[in-house]
Amino acid sequence: MKKLQDLTLKEFLEKTAANEAVPGGGSTAALTAAIAAALGEMVANLTIGKKHYVGVEERMRELATELHACRSRFVNDIDRDAEAYRLVMEAYRLPKEDEAAKRLRSDRIGEAMETAARVPMEVAEKAFEMLHLLAETIGKGNCNAVTDGLVGAMACRTAIMGALLNVRINLGGIRDDLLVQALASKCDRLEEETTAMEQELIALVKKQL
């Protein structure tokens, strides 16, 4: 089967719009994070080689490399999230004709739900780390591309929030109460810090326009 990341843009959109659960919000959040990384790379690359930015050129090369790595990871996460959800669907399809089968099915659902929560949490955490890289490209990079950088940061914010929603929706199926509490608390913190950071970047860029 062709990977989601290998579909053309039109094919991905058509598949997303179809009456199937995959790709859904989780895969889309990963794709959005990849787009955010690409925009950050662009700002860094548009800064490298410009005489007015000689002082930050070395750092911009580093940022371009780091953001490229982020982009590659998020592209892979498109399929990782889809696979995690497929495990959930497969678990729900298991037979339940007797008590033993029901217990096995319940255990498999719980395990799949945990995976389906952990994958988007990893996406959210990595995207939050990337938001700081994007903020640096906005603050130090080519001022002619500052709005492109901000679009990247805003896309990153959307990716984080979308991934966290996919964490939350799976918490109800996880049996480990301590894990549920930890993931919910992490969601709250990341949402709060991401929103605040986005607003700071919007205000910063608006001052330059």
Domains and CATH numbers, the chain: 24-208 (1.20.120.680)
pLDDT digits (tens, 9 = 90+) for 21-78: 899 999 999 999 999 999 999 999 999 999 999 999 999 999 999 999 999 999 999 9
Give pLDDT, residue 1. 74
Contact 84, 115 (CB under 8 A): yes
Residue 143: is its pLDDT beyond 90?
A: yes
Percent of the chain having pLDDT more than 70? 100
Instruction: Name the DSSP class of 144.
Output: G
At 159, the pLDDT band (50, 70, 90 cuts) reads very high
Contact 114, 179 (CB under 8 A): yes
pTM: 0.95
Cα–Cα dist 146/132, whole Å: 15
Q: Cis before residue 120, ω within 30 degrees of 0?
A: no
Burial 133-151 (b: 16+ CB within 10 A, else e): bbbbbbebbbeebbebbbb
